[in-house]
Amino acid sequence: MRKSMLAASAAAPVLALAMALPVSAQAGIQGTFTILFPQGHPASNAPCPNDAFCGVGSLAGWGAATITIEDETFDEIPDSDCLAVTRVEDVELLSGAGVLELDSVGTFCRPGGSGGSHASDRSYGFAGVWTFTFVVDGQHSSGVFAGMTGGGEESMVTAGGVGSWHLAGSLSG
């Protein structure tokens, strides 16, 4: 009993210090965002600009944020309905505390080969699956994210007029 009490009392300051650190100081990045783009009428992705491919959500430990595609390329993958994709994205904290820039590489695929379908021009909302790895660009990040490093996985599923975006990885600096 005495040893366990001694161990518990020795561990208490370390545990208290770890609990006192803001979540943002701990390693890791987790984010979830939603984008709306319904056919035929404008959608509100406020506070995103109307002309941006931008989702609204949050980064765990950092708060409310938007994610915006700043630059994107698509290249055909031979004998595939998938496309190779590179993109630069900015995750901006709504508090104004900083912008995290991500360089992402991956694929965009339409499930079940639907990318090669011959749907009518009135069809809307093909499902799509985006899968990426990302690297944090600390040189082009700003505020609390300036100089940070890290990387991780990114996924997005789009169907109809809704997309769900997820980020998970490491962040340090």
Which range, 9-13, 120-124, 151-155, has the best average confidence (pLDDT)? 151-155
CB 86 within 8 A of CB 107: no
pLDDT digit string, tens, across residues 149-170: 999 999 999 887 888 999 999 9
Q: Does domain 23-172 have CATH number 2.40.350?
A: yes
- For residue 131, pLDDT over 90 is answered with yes
- For residue 22, pLDDT over 60 is answered with no
For the ranges 27-36, 52-61, 110-119, 149-158, which has the lowest average pLDDT?
Answer: 110-119
Tokens of 7: 């161990």
Q: What is the rounded distance in angstroms from the CA atom of residue 111 to the CA atom of residue 158?
A: 11
This prediction has a pTM of 0.78
pLDDT digit string, tens, across residues 58-115: 999 999 999 999 999 999 999 888 999 999 999 999 999 999 999 999 999 987 655 5
